[in-house]
A = this chain, B = another copy of it.
Amino acid sequence: MPVENTQIRLAARPTGLPKASDWNISKTPLAQPSDGEFLAQTFYLSLDPAMRGWMNEGKSYIEPVALGEVMRCGGVARVIASRHDAYQVGDWVAGITGVQAYWLSDGHGVSKIDPEAAPLPKFLSVLGMPGMTAYFGLLDIGKPAPGETLVVSGAAGAVGSIVGQIGKIKDCRVIGIAGGARKCTYLTEELGFDAAIDYKADDIDASLARHCPGGIDVYFDNIGGSLLDSVLARLRLHARICVCGAISQYNNTQGIRGPSNYLSLLVNRARMEGFVVFDYANRYLDAIRAMSTWMRESRLQSREHIVQGIESFPETLLMLFDGRNFGKLIIQVADPQ
């Protein structure tokens, strides 16, 4: 039994991009489970844009991480000691492990996973929060109809790539916006998107005009910023914008850029609507069932970008904000073999 835990705690609230001094990496004595608790070893951690928001002070859809607290983080872990009736040593679980090598849990918000059903990292991507976010955000908020034009930003990312593939399954015309030729080729060649726009190289407005000549019915927005304005300028009547995130703005020290073309909502009788994936928790199983079926039918695939070592966390997190990751960004904390 190990005796010490590696933990990464929030040391300071960042201004702009989080920097090394905003974190505190420590080795602490490993706590043992009390009655009703289990102890699990963390194997994989999920790095998500939303984490940047959790580091800020102030009301959001979830409490901010307190200063000095272990950074909130989803992960996959295996139970190594248990005084909880529902969890046995050897069980694989997913939950909010935090950025730490070992996780003491009372079982709240934990789900067991079957490591035979899919490779473990998939439980943090297509079968985890990003997959749930894509599924409910697109289907419940975007409500795409066959033949409609769907545009998704952050399209090669964990959420966007799944949104686009579900859009194809629902018979939409799908245009993805991503950064770099390699990601764009992946969207059209491997995921079956109808077109991809490289925001680092292409003229966005001209590209949207070319690929969406009749306008945009559904926009699934992970990025915000000027892209959102470009899409607003090309909405079709009764369009729906799913506000999933605004990663372009999370580290903006000048304040958030609001969409100056928002009156296009009026002109086009369109709507812009936000959602939070946790609200759909009682329907996750339906989504996992649907997604698993599509995966078996080879209609849905996901790509994971795995970085080694918990100590890499402060630097690895930054990859999300400059787009260096290609696929769902995951840290492997320990080798499950």
CB-based nearest B residue for A279? B269
Q: Which positions 269-293 of chain A face chain B at CB distance < 8 Å? A: 269-276, 279
Stretch at the interface among A2-10, A181-189, A251-259: A251-259
Expressed in whole angstroms, the minimum distance between the Cβ of A271 and any Cβ of chain B is: 4
**21 A-B contacts (beta carbon < 8 Å):** A61-B267, A61-B269, A224-B263, A243-B262, A243-B263, A243-B265, A256-B260, A256-B262, A258-B262, A259-B259, A259-B262, A262-B262, A265-B272, A267-B276, A269-B273, A269-B275, A270-B273, A270-B274, A271-B272, A271-B273, A272-B273
List the B side residues contacting A258 at CB < 8 Å: 229, 257-262
Residues of A233-253 contacting chain B, CB below 8 A: 243-246, 249
By beta carbon, the residue of chain B nearest A275 is: B269
A263 contacts B269, CB within 8 Å?
no
- Give me 12 other A-B pairs in contact (C-beta within 8 A), A262-B262, A269-B276 excluded: A61-B268, A243-B262, A245-B266, A246-B263, A258-B262, A259-B259, A264-B274, A266-B274, A270-B273, A271-B271, A271-B272, A272-B272
Known: A260-B255, A260-B256, A260-B257. A275 touches B279 (CB 8 A): no
In this assembly, does A337 line the interface, its C-beta being within 8 Å of a C-beta of chain B? Answer: no
Tell me, in angstroms, the Cα distance from A263 to B59 when the chains sit together: 12
Q: Which residue of B lies closest to A239 (CB)?
A: B274
Complex CA gap A243/B232 in Å reads 14
Contact flags A104-128 to B (C-beta < 8 A → 1, else 0) = 0000000000000000000000000
Cβ contact of A61, chosen from B59, B249, B266, cutoff 8 A = B266
Q: Are A274 and B269 in contact (CB under 8 A)?
A: yes
B267:A274 contact, CB within 8 angstroms: yes
In the complex, A60 has a CB within 8 A of chain B: yes
A229–B265 CA distance with the chains assembled, in angstroms? 16
**Pick from B60, B256, B265, B269: contact of A267, CB under 8 Å:** B60
Across the two chains, which residue of chain B brings its CB closest to A60? B267
Q: Chain B contacts of A266 at CB under 8 A? A: 61, 243-245, 274-276
B residues less than 8 Å from A275 (CB atoms): 266, 269
Check if B245 sits within 8 Å of A256, measured CB to CB.
Answer: no
Residues on B with C-beta less than 8 A from A279 are: 269
**In whole Å, how far is A241's beta carbon from the nearest beta carbon of chain B?**
9
CB of A110, distance to nearest CB on chain B (Å): 24
Q: Mark A311-334, 1 if CB is under 8 A from B, else 0.
A: 000000000000000000000000
* A45 CB to nearest chain B CB (Å): 24
Considering the complex, give the chain B residue whose CB is closest to the CB of A259: B258
The 4 closest A-B pairs by CB, nearest first: A258-B258, A266-B274, A265-B274, A258-B260
Option from B224, B256, B261, B263 in Cβ contact (under 8 Å) with A261: B256
